[in-house]
A and B are shown apart, each in its own frame.
Chain A
Amino acid sequence: MRSGALPLLCWAALLALSGALNAVWAGASIQTATFGAGVFAIVLFAAAVLLRPQRAGPEAVTRASFATVIVAIGFATLMFGFSFGHFIIYLGVGLMVAGVGRLLLELRHQRRARSQR
């Protein structure tokens, strides 16, 4: 087992234990559900750590990503549009689409750089 997942799994187990105590003692379904959601989120991360293979060899490190910023601002603009004016939602979607397109290009360059090494 990759030791990095160990603290995550221990923590999730302790939280599950506390959630079980809550379920027995309080028996409120919404509280059990929130405990369950918390445990599930951590187990998901632990599973990703355990199952995702560790890449060997050199790593192509990205120094900057304009596309990521565009996607993030696009998403925030979209959300802002929900309360401020629906035309802003379209602007947000447009930014996100442009950002994702550029992000795919960035990822392709990064993959190529890794394979060239």
Chain B
Amino acid sequence: MIAISTDHKRIGLNLALTSLFYFLLGGLFALLMRAQLTEPNNTLLSNSRYDELFTMHGSTMIYLFVTPMALALALYLVPLQIGARTISGPRVALAGFWIFFCGGLVMQSGWMTSSGPGQDGWTSYTPLSNGTYTPGVGQDLWVIGVILAALGQLLIAGCITVTVARRRAPGMTVLRMPVFTWTALVSVLMVVAAFPVLIVALVLLYLDRHGANIFTGFTGAIDYEDLFWFFGHPVVYVMFFPYLGCAAEAVAVNAHKRWFGYTAFVASMMLFSVLSMSVWGHHMFVTGGITNPYFAFTSTLLLVPAGIEYFDLVGTLVGGSITLRCSMLFGLTFFIQFLIGGTTGIFVASPVLDYNVYGSYFVVAHFHYTLFAGSIFGFFAGVYHWFPKVTGARLREGIGRVHFVLLAIGTNMTFLPMFFLGEDGMPRRVARYRKHPGWATLNRIETAGAGVIALAIVVFLTNVVVSLRRRSLAGNDPWHGHTLEWTTSSPPPALNFEQPLPPVRSYAPLLDLREQAEDEATRRAAPAEAPA
């Protein structure tokens, strides 16, 4: 029943658990790569095995963990936040999950072939990925696995889009939707707009590999990159926005304040998401095949909506009554870590600077600060915030703090030295590097950091097991939440809400009720105090 349920919460949980499994698998690939890079000229892995590992690490993390996990959160939470009893198209969402699940299996099944799995990076650029330079069934399985995974996610995103558009509770106008719902909505719009282009690009790549000669010559390679990056850059933001929503909800609830500047935030999300659909060419500055000024202009414009979000964060914190629970710690750190990724993004948004750092570890550091630090801290903010709603039990705060400290230390130990290596000219995607002053030390620090991240994940999993076995019951609303999901039981019933919903007059309806009750209490107390 669990596997065939059309309940959005069950599908969301299944998707989240599958994604989490792939996170552990992708992490294992990363640890192997880091082990190889501990020493210069290390012989632990062959060149081709290293190629396979970095390809499958990137592909597993992007296609099978970060993006589907963002959709899983949206699938579980959005109907609850907008007061819907079900999602639109539950069968489509179920089909989406299973197609995604099978896509992951197909992609990983390449490990069992004699040619090995995909080995051309998560981008699979042509002509490297064509049938001449990468023959073998493993790369075909990679292509088909990615097509299936993307199609599954596209179907789920379509269901969430229609649910938001058609199933909002009475009073829940679009400008009263919670912050997380808005971040999820713009993400699924990007999936709907961009993922079909990836599917088309990979179908063409499959045909090209089997003799159709579609992406031939310089123009063909540029065309493939154009099609791929039209998906490839927006997906970076699909992997960011929902986690931003998690962090924003956690920060607002733990600051006991409304999210500051809601309308500006909504406008900035619209602008941010559309701009992020328009900047993909900055991945292609060095090709000479695109109009660099347009993409440099749009990439730099991203600073405006990003700045609004940070302004809103500060506005929410100022004057708030701040509780430093784990969800708050992860939420705040999400913003700090992403700031490093964002500010170093200014370098790669400028063609002149990008020419210098392209293909170096600087780029690896930048995108891990945006994709890893920018998603994982928001993800854990969401996990600590909504775990009681999903399971009925709270996660242990003490173990959570150990998890937080280890993850923060491990993340910065692993990715900060990459900036210095990149600036010093160490190229990315190499299994062996020459002896060079400082490189071995920095690489050893990174490897140790990857181990600390792994330890942090073990601590988190321990926390989950301990918290589920020896439950500290959460009740409906353990944090005094702001949004509708906190009105229902934990975990929510099959059709989400058994009691009538409270009136929705803003994006924080439960906070409205509490403030109204406080106002009434103050008013009642006032005449009694007057004679004294």
Interface of A toward B, CB cutoff 8 Å: 2-8, 10-11, 14-15, 18-19, 21-22, 25-28, 30-31, 34-35, 37-39, 41-42, 45-46, 48-49, 54, 59, 61-66, 68-69, 71-73, 75-77, 79-80, 82-84, 103
Contact of A63 among B5, B158, B166 (CB under 8 A): B5
> Which of B1, B144, B174, B293 is in CB contact (< 8 Å) with A64?
B1
- Determine the residue in chain B with the shortest Cβ distance to A4: B165
Give the contacting residue for B99; candidates A7, A28, A75; CB below 8 A: A75
B86-94, B310-318, B415-423, B462-470 - interface stretch: B86-94
Given the contacts A22-B278, A38-B197, A68-B94, A84 and B291 also touching, CB distance less than 8 Å: no
Chain A residues within 8 Å of B158, by CB: 45
- Is the CB–CB distance between B164 and A65 below 8 Å? no
Say yes or no: A61 contacts B274, CB within 8 Å.
no
Give the interface centre of A19, A21, A30 by most chain B CB atoms within 10 Å.
Answer: A30
Task: Tell me which of B1, B144, B270, B278 contacts A10 (CB under 8 A).
Answer: B270
A25-B294, A39-B193 as given contacts; A11 in contact with B4, CB under 8 Å: no
Q: Which residue of A lies closest to B188 (CB)?
A: A45
B91 / chain A contacts, CB cutoff of 8 Å: 62, 65, 68, 103
The prevalent SS among residues of A at the interface is helix
- A68-B91, A76-B99, A79-B147 known; A34 vs B197 contact (CB < 8 Å): yes
Query: When chains A and B are docked, how far (Å) is the Cα of A5 from the Cα of B166?
Result: 8
- Residue-by-residue, is B264-275 near A (CB-CB < 8 Å gives 1, otherwise 0)? 000000110111
Q: Which residues of A contact B97 (CB under 8 A)?
A: 72
Across the interface, do B174 and A28 meet the contact criterion of CB distance under 8 Å? Answer: no
Q: Does B98 contact A (CB under 8 A)?
A: yes
Q: B162 contacts which chain A residues (CB < 8 A)?
A: 45, 48-49
Interface: B141 (CB within 8 A):
yes
Task: Using C-beta atoms within 8 Å of the partner chain, give the interface range for chain B.
Answer: 35 or more
B interface secondary structure, majority: helix
B494 with A63: CB separation less than 8 A: yes
Task: Note all chain A residues with C-beta closer than 8 A to B194.
Answer: 38
Q: Is the CB of A49 within 8 A of B165?
A: yes
| Cβ A69 vs Cβ B94 within 8 A | yes
| B103 nearest in chain A by CB position | A76
Chain A, Cβ-Cβ closest to B165: A4
- Please determine whether B196 and A41 come into contact, CB atoms closer than 8 angstroms: yes
> Is the CB of B3 closer than 8 A to any CB of chain A?
yes
**Chain A nearest CB, measured from B402 CB (Å):** 40
Q: Smallest Cβ distance from A47 to chain B, in angstroms? A: 11
Is the beta-carbon distance between A37 and B196 smaller than 8 angstroms? Answer: yes
Decide if B298 is an interface residue (CB 8 Å cutoff).
Answer: yes
Question: How many angstroms from the CA of A31 to the CA of B273 in the assembled complex?
Answer: 17
Residues of A within 8 A of B432 (CB): none
Q: Is A34 a contact partner of B4 (Cβ separation < 8 A)?
A: no
A59–B85 Cα distance when bound, in Å, is: 11
Contacts of B168 in A (CB 8 A): 4
Whether the Cβ atoms of A61 and B102 lie closer than 8 Å is no
Known: A41-B193, A63-B5. A18 touches B166 (CB 8 A): no
**Chain A residues, CB < 8 A from B495:** 61
Q: Which of A46, A62, A66, A80 contacts B106 (CB 8 A)?
A: A80
Known: A4-B164, A39-B193, A45-B158. A15 touches B274 (CB 8 A): yes
Complex Cα–Cα for A34 and B228 (A): 10
